[in-house]
Amino acid sequence: MRDAQPTSIYLKDYKVPDFLIERTELQIHLHPAATRVRSRLELKRNPKAGSSNAALVLDGQEMKLLSVELNGVALAAGDYEVTAESLTIHKVGQQAELITEVEINPAANTSLEGLYKSRTMFCTQCEAEGFRKITYYLDRPDVLSEFTTTIVADEKQFPVLLSNGNLIESKSLGDGRHQASWHDPFKKPAYLFALVGGDLEFIEDRFRTCSGRDITLRIYVEEKDLDKCAHAMDSLKRAMRWDEEVYGREYDLDIFMIVAVDDFNMGAMENKGLNIFNTSCVLAKPETTTDAGFQRVEAVVAHEYFHNWSGNRVTCRDWFQLSLKEGFTVFRDSEFSADMGSRTVKRVEDVSLLRTLQFAEDAGPMAHPVRPASFIEISNFYTLTVYEKGAEVVRMIHTLIGAENFRKGSDLYFERHDGEAATIENFLKAMEDASGRDLGQFSRWYSQGGTPRLEVSDQFDQQAGTYTLTINQSCPDTPDAKSADKLPFHIPVALGLLGDAGNLALHQQGQPANNDSADNTHCVLELTEQSQSFVFEKLPEKPVPVLLRGFSAPVKLHYPYNRDDLTAIMSRDSDGFSRWDASQKLAVAVIEDVMTSYRGQQQGQIDQRLLSACRQVLSDESLDPAMVALMLQLPSESYLSEIADTIDVEAIHHGRLQVRKALACELYSEFKQAYERCNSSEAYVYSAAAVARRSLKNTALGYLLQSDRAEAISLAQAQFAGATNMTDQSAALTVLVNSELPGAEAASSEALASFYQQWQHESLVVNQWLSTQATCALPGGLERVQALMQHAAFDLKNPNKVRALVGAFCANNPINFHRPDGLGYQFLADQIIVLNKLNPQIASRQLTPLTRWRKYDAARQKLMQQQLQRIMAESDLSKDVYEVVSKSLAG
């Protein structure tokens, strides 16, 4: 919490540290309210620092300093200076040994940053700046040290004591306490430190690395969760193998541990050798976990494991470089998931997320470049831009230089910077050196914020058989720069041309013919100018351009497709992503028709082309059922809001719903058939094929319940009652809860009660139950959520519960959250004000929906601003909340 106006930190002010810490020895006596931390640091002056007599300034917060000893001499109070955020010692020589002792209070730590209690165990979260709540330290990622950690605790209450690296000693102290010592041979910054103490059980497995070393793998959980670890363990082994095969990366310690904790601010954390996970990202079994949950576990386990190289062995010089590890690692985990399941499905999921949420971030008041130039609170910059857009930027490098050069570049990067704290320039340089390509212009993707916009026009010369595409690029204003001051990006635009019978051969003027390539119907144009034309020759007919195949760049592309063009792409293009994208564009156009009628208080007509395209997709049994499901799912209200200039909450909700209902009624028997075709009684397996079938089945069920046939209710009830896995059970619950059919209300209440009765002891399943109700779009949403806030199952101190109820309601229930009287906004502000004191990171995250006020009508804008101002007037605002609220209100 702050005492003065928080200040910004700038990338341009980066300075190397004055001191380095060669070795760090910690002795930690765990006690809920009074943990003692003794730290022994071997310091030396940094030869690269300018000053040779600078004072030693250590970061430290929220702790009681008990003693300071420098080179064997206890310091008197006058020899050092302590503030709320630092410990300064003025006279320090070339080398020094510093011993400090502090006392901290983990039980009172509700921010879940530093050392804290989750249920009965102790655990830590240090990234980005949590280590400074454990001891005084140079808490910055470019100070890498060799850590030895001894943990002392009550033997009965905390039989398991873990830290990074290898266990070097473990013994009983004979007085009811025991201790364990861990040594991590790899130098690391403090943000990768971890400690766990608790009454935990584990499952164990082994992995033999490519060079023949045997690694012990353990997943630690509370005893009740031991039956939910197998999927994470399998995922871990697959990720380890994949990283060897695809990146040549081998694991380096003798043991790799994962610990599951229930109170966690995000998904998981890549601490060296000791990953700490939110239970939601590690526990999975068919009865309690949906397919989406299984997928998330696989992806997050892989992501954190991949950080061992992209993040830990090569770390970041400063927090502005965050995307160096996060963008790259998201790209790595997303390729891993693509290889494990369906590549096209994974691409569609990633692009949907990016276009819905990252594009909205890019257009909002917190927009920032992939490498921000400044921040007030770094925790606010673990964003979709740094992660997902950062991954798209790495993907574009992969597209531009090709898979082989990309691998050479990553090898070079890891080899050059192993054991170092690197920058984004270092990464780009390795890619340039490996490929011989100049990425100078490309690097603007890291420094210019906002989503570029491409305007495409075309011209066909029938006689000459030439087709000219002209692409103009621009990028809107963002807080970092005005549109006019932004320089053109280097943008790969993947392309195909579609003729009446399929994809046409491409002969690009001025380019060598690519006759020997396996596919001469696909190419990647490189846009580098503000406006550029590309000419294709020898075309027998005017083609439909299929632009941005595979979503080759994170941009908004505008081309005047007509609806027949879109149905042609949907049915004939060779790129699965583009077929899906065309289906979404068509659906958007049709929903927009209905929205226009809704505004004019007329009954809208649904364009028959959408109905017949959906009918065709539904009946084509040769298609991957997962893709069929994705093509049938209408664009979400959040996506429709993102692409709107001004968000018309009611028109979007009712327009989309009307199209959904029309499809449900008109295609009832097709949906029913698809449902039956995909409904199997075989035991649950988690495989791409089985997930795909369940996805289509449950998408079909969703439509059936939006039809006018009351019989659909018994279908959902039967699925709910007979389900042997959570995917089917929760899908049935969700469709019942959202149905307006006669009889649905009673069926829904009954199902909700029985679901809770069945699963009340499974916290993660209860979260699902909370979310399902929080996102129910029927009238009365706020009242339902307010009642659930009082339910025994809810706990404002647990981030998963907050996300499941408050987060789901405010972000994913627009028609109820944005009710015209503003009570939804007031509700959110009430929660933020309480959370600001309990857990600033969670408070600031939950704020997002209010920050988007500029996109709404005048009346809503005013109501949202009022709530932001109300939060701003609170005393004791955390830096996290202050930054987001002040930036949202500014300008």
Nearest to 165 by CA among 286, 265, 13, 273: 273
The candidate with the shortest Cα–Cα distance to 75, out of 43, 95, 101, 111, is 101
Nearer to ligand B3K, 129 or 573 (CB): 129
Cα atoms in the 13 Å half-sphere on the side-chain side of 478: 24
Distance (Å, whole) CA 836 – CA 530: 44
Nearer to ligand B3K, 379 or 426 (CB): 379
- The answer to whether the beta carbons of residues 527 and 474 sit under 8 Å apart is no
Which residue reads 């809503």 in tokens? 860
Residue 382: which of ligand B3K, Zn ion, none does it interact with, CB under 5 to 8 A by kind? ligand B3K
**Alpha-carbon Rg of the chain, whole angstroms?**
28
Binding to ligand B3K by residue 845, rule CB under 6 A? no
Q: Is 270 in the site for ligand B3K (CB under 6 A)?
A: yes
Q: Are 35 and 115 in contact (CB under 8 A)?
A: yes
From the list 128, 260, 732, 868, which residue makes contact with ligand B3K (rule: CB under 6 A)? 128
Options 265-273, 343-351, 443-451, 730-738: segment touching ligand B3K (CB under 6 A): 265-273
> Rounded to whole angstroms, how far apart are CA atoms 192 and 129?
10
- Using CB under 6 A as the criterion, what x/- string covers residues 326-365 for binding ligand B3K? x---------------------------------------
Q: Which of 142, 298, 304, 377 binds ligand B3K (CB under 6 A)?
A: 304
* Out of 28, 123, 217, 269, the residue judged to bind ligand B3K by CB under 6 A: 269
Of 295, 261, 267, the C-alpha closest to 281 is 267
- What the block records as the tokens of 188 is 């690391």
User: Which does residue 503 bind out of ligand B3K, Zn ion, none, counting CB within 5 to 8 angstroms by kind?
Assistant: none
Distance, CA of 270 to chain centre: 14
Q: Which two tokens stand for residue 57?
A: 């300034």
User: Counting Cβ atoms within 10 Å, is residue 138 exposed (0-12), middle (13-18) or buried (19+)?
Assistant: buried
Q: Least Å distance between CB 630 and ligand B3K?
A: 26
DSSP E strand boundaries for 299-350: 315-316
CB-hemisphere CA count at 13 Å for 796?
17
- Interaction residues for ligand B3K, span 88-127 (CB under 6 A): 127
Piece of the chain touching ligand B3K by CB under 6 A; list 162-170, 268-276, 353-361, 772-780: 268-276
Asked if 303 touches ligand B3K (CB under 6 A), the answer is yes
127 binds, among Zn ion, ligand B3K, none (CB under 5 to 8 A by kind): ligand B3K
- The answer to whether 883 contacts ligand B3K (rule: CB under 6 A) is no
- Of the pair 329, 695, the CB lying nearest Zn ion is at 329
User: Residue 667 in contact with residue 618, Cβ under 8 Å?
Assistant: yes
> Shortest distance, CB of residue 118 to ligand B3K, whole angstroms?
16
Q: Which amino acids are annotated catalytic?
A: 304
- Kindly determine how many residues on this chain lie close enough to bind ligand B3K according to the rule CB under 6 A: 12
Shortest distance (Å) from residue 840 CB to ligand B3K: 11
Residue 831 touches which of ligand B3K, Zn ion, none (Cβ within 5-8 Å per kind): none
Q: Which stretch binds ligand B3K (CB under 6 A): 73-81, 300-308, 448-456, 559-567?
A: 300-308
Q: How far from 297 is each of 302, 761, 795, CA to CA, in Å? A: 8, 21, 24
Query: Encoding tokens for residue 512?
Result: 């060598």
382 binds ligand B3K (CB under 6 A): yes
318 binds, among ligand B3K, Zn ion, none (CB under 5 to 8 A by kind): none
Interface segment toward ligand B3K; rule CB under 6 A; list 19-27, 266-274, 469-477, 523-531: 266-274
The one segment of 182-190, 263-271, 598-606, 693-701 that binds ligand B3K by CB under 6 A = 263-271
Q: Is 263 in the site for ligand B3K (CB under 6 A)?
A: no
The secondary structure of residue 85, as a DSSP letter, is S
Exposure string over 84-111, b if 16+ CB within 10 A, otherwise e = eeebebeebeeebebbbbbebbbeebbb
Contact residues for Zn ion (CB under 5 A)?
A: 326, 329
> Omega before 128 cis (within 30°)?
yes
The single residue among 310, 337, 358, 379 that binds ligand B3K, judged by CB under 6 A, is 379
Token pair recorded at residue 472: 């103009």
- With CB under 6 A as the contact rule, the residue among 144, 266, 376, 640 that binds ligand B3K is 266
Q: Name every residue whose Cβ is closer than 8 Å to that of residue 673 and which is 6 or more positions away in sequence.
A: 618, 619
| 445 in Cβ contact with 395 (< 8 Å) | no
The residues facing 453 across adjacent strands are: 474, 556
For residue 335, what are its two tokens?
Answer: 């390729």
User: Which residue has its beta carbon closest to ligand B3K?
Assistant: 127
User: Which residues, 468 to 527, sit near ligand B3K by CB under 6 A?
Assistant: none
Query: Among residues 382 and 671, whose Cβ is nearest to ligand B3K?
Result: 382
Selection from Zn ion, ligand B3K, none that 128 binds (CB < 5 to 8 A by kind) is: ligand B3K
Q: Give the interface with ligand B3K as residue ranges (CB under 6 A).
A: 127-128, 266, 268-270, 303-304, 307, 326, 379, 382
